[in-house]
Chain A
Amino acid sequence: MRFLTSSRRHKAARPILVALALVLIGGLYAAVSPATNSSADDTTTTAQIAQGRQLFAVSCASCHGLNGEGLAAEGAPSLVGVGAAAVDFQVRSGRMPMANPLVQAPRKENTFTDEERAALAAFVASLGGGPSIPTEDQYTPEGLSEEAIAKGGDLFRTNCSACHNFQGSGGALPNGKVAPPLIGLEAIDIYEAMRTGPGQMPIFNGAAIPDTDVQAMVGYLDELHAQPSAGLTLGGLGPVSEGLWAWIAGMGSLVLFAMWITSKAARK
C-alpha cells in the first residue's frame, strides 16, 4: 500500500490508470456483449456455410449480390442481418428465389431440399445475425387453454386482421401488393413471418409479442379454420360477396320465379 500511496502523484499515474481502465472496460465488454456474428458460426459447420454460399451464388446472387449486399436497382434488399428465419420462411414458401421481378413475391412450390434450405439459411445468417430458425416449442400452439386461444383471437384482431381480414382471407395493400391469405399455413410460417416481417409486413419482435402470444394467435387461426361455417362462406370476404350473392342468387331466382308465375295464364 505504501507503493500506491507514494506513487499516486507520480506523473505517469494518470495515463497508466486511464489505460488500465480502458483495458478493463474493453475486456468486460468483450465478455458480456452479445456475440452477434459468431453464434451462427459456432453452431453450424463451416461446410454447411460453404454449401450455402454456393447455392446462394447460383440462385440468389443475381439480385442480392454474391455477399448478400443487395441491389437497390433491382429492388433486392440487403440480406445482411435478416437472419436464418427470413431465409427459411422465404424459401420454404417458394417466394424466393423469385421467378420474375413482380411487385410482390407470390407463393409457389419450393424446389429446394430441407438440407439446401438449411445451408442457405446458415450462409445468410453468417453474413450477420438476425432471428434464427425457431424451434418447435417456440411456435407450436399445442396445449393452450381455451382462454389463451380466445386471447389469441383478440390479439389477431388487434394486430393482423386490418390487413389479413377477420378470418385470414387476405386483403389488399397499396400499389398492387397484397396481404396474403393465412389459410392452410403451418405454425412456423406465421411465427417466422411475424419475426422477420417479409415484404410490407411489419416486424413483430419478441419484445412486443412474446412467443406465447404468437402461439395463441396461431392456435386461434387453427381453431377458427377448423370451425364449421353457417353455410357456404361465399369466399369469406365480408359484405361485398354477400351483396353479390343476394343480387345474383336471391334477386336472380326471384325474377325467374316471377317470370314463371306470370307465364302461366289462367285465362286469356
Chain B
Amino acid sequence: MARPAQVSPEVPAAQALSAPAAAPAAGVGGWFDDRAPVSGFAKKALRKAFPDHWSFLLGEVALYSFIILLLTGVFLTVWFKPSMAEVEYAGTYQLLHGVPMSEAFASTLAISFDIRGGLLVRQIHHWAAMLFVASMTVHMLRVFFTGAFRKPREVNWLIGVGLLSMGLVEGFAGYSLPDDLLSGTGLRFVDGLVRSIPIIGTWAEFFIFNGEFPGDLVIPRLYMVHILLVPGLLLGLISAHMALLVYHKHTHFPGPGRKDTNVVGGPLFPVYVAKAGGFFFIVFGVTILMGALMQINPVWLFGPYNPAQVTAGSQPDWYMGFVEGAIRIIPNWETHLLGTTWSWNIFLPGVGLMGLLFTGLGLYPFIEQWITGDTAEHHVLDRPRNVPTRTALGVAGMTCYAMFWLSGGNDILATQFGVSLNDVTQVMRVAVFVAPVIAFIVTKRLCLSLQRKDRERVLHGSESGILVRTPDGGYTEAHVPLEQEEAFILTQHHQPAALEPSVGTDARGVRRRGKRVGGLRVRLSQWYADGAIAKPTAADIADAGHHGEAADAVETTPPAGELSGAASSGKGEGH
C-alpha cells in the first residue's frame, strides 16, 4: 500500500520542475527534485511500455535467480572458509568423524549441519544456480527463435552470450568450492582440459593450481573468482544488458498497430511493476520450495576430496554436461610429435567444443545478416515458422547439444534403461552428427507446413464445423472469415528474396562500386530463403472468395468482405 502513496507525488512534482519557480516542490519527490532531476526521469521510466508475453519473462527469471544467488551467497560467505588446510573433522556429522579433510569441506559440512538454516540456504543457492543458467539458456533460445538478436540488438546479443559463458564459469567455480569428492573430480577434469591445450598446457596447469594438482591454492583462487571476479563481471554485463534493453525498448510480437517504429505494451507502472515484482517473489518461492523439498549436492555423502577416490555418477552440473558428454564419447585420439603429446581426445571436445559453441553463438547474428543482406532495424519479432531456416538451424543446434548432454549421462542411461554402456556410447557417436541433420530437415518441413496452414487459413478462413448440403447433393464445410487481427498476424511478415549475384560492371561496362555479392553468399542466401510458402497477396485473397464458400457462388462476383479488407490492411502495415 505504501508504494502508490510514495510514487504518486512525483507526477505533479514534474510539472513544478518544468516551471523554474522559486518555491521548492513538496513531498519526497520534490526533495529529490531539488537535488537531481529525478521525477522527470521517473515519469518517463515509469511510463515505459512493456509488451506482455510469457516468453518475455524468461530473462527476468535469470535476473531474479541472480538476485537470489547474491542474497544466499552472502549468507554462505559468512560461514565458508576457503582454505585447503587439512583438518580432522570433529563436527556433528558422525559418519565423517576423524576423517582428514580440507577446511573448505569442513566448513561446508558445518554450514550443512551446524549453522541454523545453513543447509536450506545452501540448497536454495545451488538450485538457484541451476535455474540461473537454465533460464539464461531458455531466454537465449527465445531471443534466437524470434529473431530478437537482429539489428539493433546484436551488441546486446553478444553481451548475453558473454553472460551465459560467465554463468558457466561462475557455476563451475561454485560447484568446486566445497572440495568434496565430486567437485574435486570435476576439478581434476578441468585440470585435464587445461593440460590438453597444446604446448602451454602443463605451464597453464601449474599457473592455475600453483604447482601440481590439486595443490593448496586452487580453492582460495576459485573463491575469489566465484564471489568477486565473475559476479562483478556478471553485474556489469547485466547492467549493460538492461541498459541496452531500456535504450532499444522491448521487442514485440506482430499484431495490428505493432511496427518496427513503435512498441506496444502496458506501462511499466503500475501494471508491469506489479507483474515483475510479483514474479520475483514467485521465482524466490519456487527456489525456496526446491531447496526445502529436494536434496541437491549432498556433499556429506560424497566425502572429502581425495585424489585416490572416485565415485560412479561423477558428473558436473547440467550446464557442463555437454562437455562431459563430448569427452565421454570421443575416440582415444592422441598424437606424439617431437616429444610433445597432443591430446585431441580431450582438447577437441573440451576446449574446442566450448569455443565452438560460444563463437558460433556470438557470430550468428552477423552471419545471418551477411547471408540475408538484411540491414534494416527490427523491433517486431519473427514468428519462428516464418524464418524456417533459422528455426531449423536452432533446433539442429539444440539437438546436437542434447546429444552431447545425453552422452554426459551415458552411465546413468545405461543403468536406468538397462542398456549396454558401450551401445549408448556408440549410438551417441553417430547421433551427435546425424540427429541434428534429421532435426534440421524435420523442423524446416514443419515450419513450411505451418506456413501453408497459415496461408490456407487466410485464404479460406477457419473451419466452422458446419457441413452444408447443396440442393444437388454436394457437401461443403462453411468457413468463417478470420478476425482482422489474426489475418493481419498471418500476413504481416516479410518474405525477402534470396540475394542475386552482383554483376561486376554495369550496362556501360563501368565497374560498380560497393560490396560485391559473391557466389558463396548467393548460394547460402538461396539455401536460407529456400522453400518459403508465398504468403497470400490481396489478389489471392480476392480470388479465394470464388471457391471458398460454396461451389454455386463461383458465377457471382464475390464480395471480398472483411477477409480481404483485413488482409490488405495487413499488407499495408507489413510493408
Contacts and interface: CB of A to CB of B under 8 A. Distances in A.
A224 B95 contact: yes
Contacts of A259: 54
A157 B303 contact: yes
Given A169-B313, A251-B131, A265-B52, A231 B282 contact: no
A161 B56 CA distance: 44
Contact of A238 (B97, B130, B270, B314): B314
B293 A250 contact: no
Contacts of A173: 421
Interface in A136-167: 146-147, 149-151, 153-154, 157-158, 161-167
Contacts of B295: 229-234
B311 A242 contact: no
Interface in A191-247: 220, 223-224, 227, 229-234, 236-247
A249 B410 CA distance: 22
A246 B127 contact: yes
A266 interface: yes
A242 B270 CA distance: 38
A138 to B, nearest CB: 23
A241 B318 CA distance: 9
A254 B130 contact: no
Interface in A171-202: 171-176, 178-179
Report the contact-size class of chain B (Cβ under 8 Å from the partner). 35 or more
B87 to A, nearest CB: 14
B303 A232 contact: no
Contact of A153 (B266, B303, B310, B420): B303
A267 interface: yes
A35 interface: no
B96 A163 contact: no
Nearest to A156: B303
Contact of A262 (B98, B275, B409): B275
A250 B316 CA distance: 18
Contacts, number: 215
B292 A231 contact: yes
Contact of A164 (B98, B278, B312, B412): B312
B414 A178 contact: yes
Interface residues of A, number: 65
B127 A239 contact: no
Interface string B406-449: 00111110110001111100000000000000000000000000
B171 to A, nearest CB: 11
Contacts of B415: 170-172, 178
Contacts of B420: 103, 174-176
A30 B521 CA distance: 91
Contacts of A165: 311-313
Contact of A150 (B58, B97, B408): B97
Interface in B28-56: 52-56
B312 A162 contact: yes
Contacts of A229: 295, 298
B419 A166 contact: no
A161 B312 contact: yes
B312 A176 contact: no
Contacts of A112: none
Contacts of A166: 181-182, 301-303, 311-313
Nearest to B266: A266
12 contacts: A150-B98, A153-B95, A154-B306, A157-B306, A233-B295, A243-B130, A251-B131, A254-B131, A254-B286, A255-B54, A255-B58, A261-B57
Interface of B: 52-58, 61, 94-99, 112, 119, 123, 127, 130-131, 134-135, 138, 181-182, 266, 270-271, 274-275, 278-279, 282-283, 286-287, 290-298, 301-303, 306, 308-318, 321, 408-412, 414-415, 419-423
Given A246-B127, A251-B131, A254-B283, 7 more contacts: A150-B96, A150-B97, A164-B312, A230-B119, A242-B297, A257-B283, A258-B58
Q: Which 9 A-B pairs have the closest CB atoms?
A: A171-B312, A243-B318, A176-B420, A246-B130, A238-B313, A172-B411, A258-B57, A172-B414, A161-B311
